[in-house]
């Protein structure tokens, strides 16, 4: 991945921060969904959605830091 960066920073220096923003944003969207606000929604039902958010962020981090 070719990017411009500040002197002294590696091109992928912002990858961890971008990944953190992705996770926080994804989990926030999940929290704001209608299903998450129902008291009868079991935690076990939400875990696959959380896993999808984490998988997406993990894939992006691996892709952005790949040689």
What is the CA 48 to chain-centroid distance, rounded?
14
Q: Taking the CA atoms of 55, 59, 60 and 65 in sequence, report the sign of the dihedral they define.
A: positive
- Between 34 and 64, name the one with better pLDDT: 64
Mean pLDDT calculated for residue range 18-44: 81
- % pLDDT > 90, the chain: 30
- % pLDDT > 70, the chain: 78
Is 0.85 topped by the overall pTM?
Answer: no
Highest mean predicted confidence (pLDDT) among 4-8, 13-17, 30-34, 52-56: 52-56
């Amino acid at each position: 991945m070719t990017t411009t960066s500040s002197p002294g920073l590696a091109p992928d220096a912002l990858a961890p921060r971008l990944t953190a923003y992705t996770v926080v944003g994804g989990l926030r969207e999940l929290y704001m969904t209608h299903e998450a606000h129902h008291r009868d929604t079991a935690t076990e039902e939400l875990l696959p959605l959380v896993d999808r958010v984490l998988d997406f962020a993990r894939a992006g981090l691996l892709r952005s830091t790949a040689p």
